[in-house]
Amino acid sequence: MYGGDEVSAMVIDLGSHTCKAGYAGEDAPKAVFPSVVGAIDQMEVDDTEKTENNSGSAVDSKNTVRTLDSEKAKGKRKLFVGSQALGFRRDHMEVLSPIKDGVVVDWDMVDNIWDHAFRECLLIDPKEHPMLLAEPSSNTQQQRERTAELMFEKYKVPALFLAKNAVLTSFASGRATSLVVDCGGGSTTVAPVHDGYVLQKAVASSAIGGEYLSDCLLKSLESKGIMIKPRFSFKRKETRPGEFQTVDMDFPNTTESYRLYSQRVISSDIKECVCRAPDTPYDESAYSNIPMTPYELPDGQTIEIGSDRFKIPDILFNPSLVQTIPGMDNFAEIAPSVRGLPQMVIDSINRCDVDIRRELFSSILLAGGTASMQQLKERLEKDLLEESPQAARVKVLASGNATERRFSVWIGGSILASLGSFQQMWFSKAEYEEHGASYIQRKCP
Amino acid sequence: MANAASGMAVEDDCKLRFLELKAKRSYRFIVFKIEQQQVVVEKLGEPNESYEDFAASLPANECRYAVYDYDFTTTENFQRSKIFFVAWSPDIAKVRHKMVYASSKDRFKRELDGIQFELQATDPSEMSLDIVKGRAN
């Protein structure tokens, strides 16, 4: 048992797209930054001196304790974490994600992300704060033990808790039983929660998340001849009041992944500004004459977006639409595992016990960043009404508050970790030392 | 133990009152609330109170737990009674309350032995008498 003194806990939700971190008890996370990192292989680059001056939060992975990382192969590289460090273009910097299919594949990067959150964003000493981490439903035993080891051995945290993100979302909306539809950045996951347990065998996920939609939008615009210039590739200055001049810059050593990262920042903003889920399945001919919506790109050119406003969100419902977008070649790879959102919901419910299906249909919770898409909730509810069994009473719920929708997992963790009664639930350092990392399975089932 | 349970304690009075409802049928319903890190009894319903009285004792903007002893006649004309549990969590309640009640429910329900079915309701329509009837049979 953790003594539960007055030092407040930290809550971290490391998603596939964004990392949310902050103090337990607050309404929203203090630090929100990309969960991708920039990496430069030290072998290739000699002039690291130059980049060092500009790196606000560069962490030299050579110096970090690597007791846990056995993979020495990718040893010498320099990692850049945080929106600021990533916003600055560097030669040969690749943008990599530590998470694949919702599960951590590169612990070195995760380590750096946590470190950035503690020391750069929150300015805390992890030794003093219990940590509540949100974990994906699909996390394996090894992953959880690894997390516990890293937290206790390296950061020396006094106590730890791993909470399932679907459970946190469900609880934060006042339900112990619900079907959580988490439309995140990197993927979409449908997870049934019953009395606080995730029903693992019925969890469904697909690779189509917000980021995938942004990519589709990017490619679709490119096919129409609209090139989105990444922010680093030009300089814009005011020649006379109200008049701007854009000068293109050329950086031949920029990596393809960094270029894509910078373009995605823009295309996801376009998506958030103009896209809206259509009320009925997207139909090319019906939407050919809709009015165009203007959007001003960072380089000053104004583009007009027409049917893509509706077509892109509809990919969530009908993934095969991707085939009509030139340039989205990787669809063939993910195609077998991908289904539309309503189908995922129904399949997931059908894999649950008959007795709870009715209850799941009546409490479908929409959460995650992409859930803020306009009309997404209404469309999902409509499609489900059509495809669900007659007797079922379909109800899709989403918090009216955009912050709560986007950060529902973090908010749930924040409240939980700040409850007085929860202080006895932590997996404490003493317990870790006595029972080892595998005890996490008992303490945080 | 469910994942992310709050560890909220349950006052003994809750269990005693529930036993009285179950064995002696001294109450029609009991409303519970969470106060100072434990679940306590908020209101006891007399045996002659109706379902409307019960529904009216759940506040519109705050979460509660409740049990109700529901009498009904089966299709074969038998008099039966079933005890059901309601997790009341209106949408307009504070997130903090919703989280506290949802994360404490599993533990609390385990303390009450003899609940036959359970409803989670976020607005009055989700716990209407029709729904109760449907679940009881």
Question: pLDDT, tens digit, for every residue of B43-67?
Answer: 999 999 999 999 999 999 999 999 9
Kindly determine whether residue B3 and residue A197, on different chains, have CB atoms separated by under 8 Å.
yes
For the entire predicted model, the pTM comes to 0.88
Pairing status of strand A188-194 against strand A197-198? antiparallel
Q: Which residues in chain B touch residue A360, judged by CB atoms under 8 angstroms apart?
A: none
Q: Give residue A7's pLDDT.
A: 65
Q: Cα(B46)–Cα(B26) distance, rounded to whole angstroms?
A: 7
Q: Do A422 and B2 touch (CB under 8 A)?
A: no
pLDDT score of A66: 39
- Of the candidates A138, A189, A202, A181, the residue with the CA atom closest to the CA atom of residue A353: A202
Q: pLDDT class for A6, splitting at 50, 70, 90?
A: low
Q: Is the pLDDT of residue A58 over 50?
A: no
**pLDDT tier, A57 (very low <50, low <70, confident <90, very high otherwise):** very low
pLDDT at A163 over 70: yes
Give yes or no for A231 touching B (CB within 8 A).
no
CA-wise closest residue to B98 among B127, B115, B120: B120
Domains and CATH numbers, chain B: 9-136 (3.40.20.10)
* Optimal mutation site among A133, A356, A419, interface B, most CBs of chain B within 10 A: A419
Q: What is the tens place of the pLDDT at every residue in A204-217?
A: 998 899 999 999 99
Its ipTM equals: 0.90
A23: part of which helix (H) or strand (E)?
strand A18-23
Task: Indicate yes or no: CB of B98 within 8 angstroms of CB of A411.
Answer: no
CA distance linking residue A422 with residue A132, whole number of Å: 11
Instruction: Please report, for residues A17, A25, A190, A266, A383, the alpha-carbon distance to residue A402 in angstroms, rounded to integers and kept in the order given.
Output: 17, 19, 20, 20, 23
Q: How far apart (Å, rounded) are the C-alpha atoms in residues A182 and A254?
A: 34
Cβ <8 Å between A195 and B105: yes
Q: Is the pLDDT of residue A265 over 50?
A: yes
User: Which residues make Cβ contacts (< 8 Å) with residue B40, sequence separation at least 6?
Assistant: B11, B13, B14, B32, B33, B34
* Contact yes or no for A173 and B93 at CB 8 A: no
**Option in A175, A411, A424 nearest B89 (CB):** A175
